[in-house]
Homo-oligomer: A and B are copies of this chain.
């Protein structure tokens, strides 16, 4: 397997965590988003959308982090990253979706660049934007985690799931943008729990090969 990723991409971070849980090794292809590698013809032949991560599985290219992780979970079922019952699955996917659809897309590099270049938003306004969408999403998520009887050591029960795999990169990113996370004790507790595991910690952007040069 060959993964096309970038250390700071939250979506690539998710995929790294899942690969670590499944114990899968892979060739790593750096796609430097800062220098525009993702917009090159070479990369667009792999993913016409020009986004990371993408994975090449014996010539089949898969894109979209959650679609890839669900694939891995089906083909390499141990350890499972989703509960076995439909309701449990829906709750885990609901948390994953809250983060992956309602927070992360608003705060990725392409969006922040659009705000700067097309809407001439100053750094302060871009930071306020970033923090606003984290707050909108985390306010809801903190309440959901507090209310769900299934919340355990992790977002759902006592083993990590796709929900935690989405949560951790979002928290790492929020910390990098100095978001105030004081009102999210449940989110922070689960984040710390996750980061005590090597599968999450090893996937941290700062532990990737390109971090030393590009961070």
**A interface residues (Cβ-Cβ under 8 A, vs B):** 44, 47-51, 57, 60, 62-68, 70-71, 74-75, 86-87, 89-91, 93-94, 96-98, 100-102, 104-106, 110-111, 114-115, 118-119, 121, 125, 128-129, 132, 136-137, 139-141, 143-144, 147
Besides A57-B87, A60-B87, A67-B90, 5 new A-B residue pairs in contact (Cβ under 8 A), listed by A number: A47-B140, A67-B96, A74-B86, A100-B101, A118-B129
Contact (Cβ within 8 A) A87 B71: yes
Interface secondary structure of A, over-half rule: helix
CB distance from A136 to the nearest CB of B (A): 8
Chosen A-B contacts, 15 in total, with CB atoms closer than 8 Å, are A44-B143, A48-B139, A48-B140, A49-B98, A49-B143, A49-B144, A62-B87, A64-B94, A64-B98, A67-B97, A68-B94, A70-B89, A75-B86, A114-B129, A118-B132
Contact (Cβ within 8 A) A97 B132: no
Given the complex, which residues of B lie within 8 Å of A75, measured CB to CB? 86
Given the complex, which residues of B lie within 8 Å of A102, measured CB to CB? 49, 51, 105
**A86 to B69 alpha-carbon distance, docked (Å):** 11
CB distance from A60 to the nearest CB of B (A): 6
Given the complex, which residues of B lie within 8 Å of A49, measured CB to CB? 98, 102, 137, 140-141, 143-144
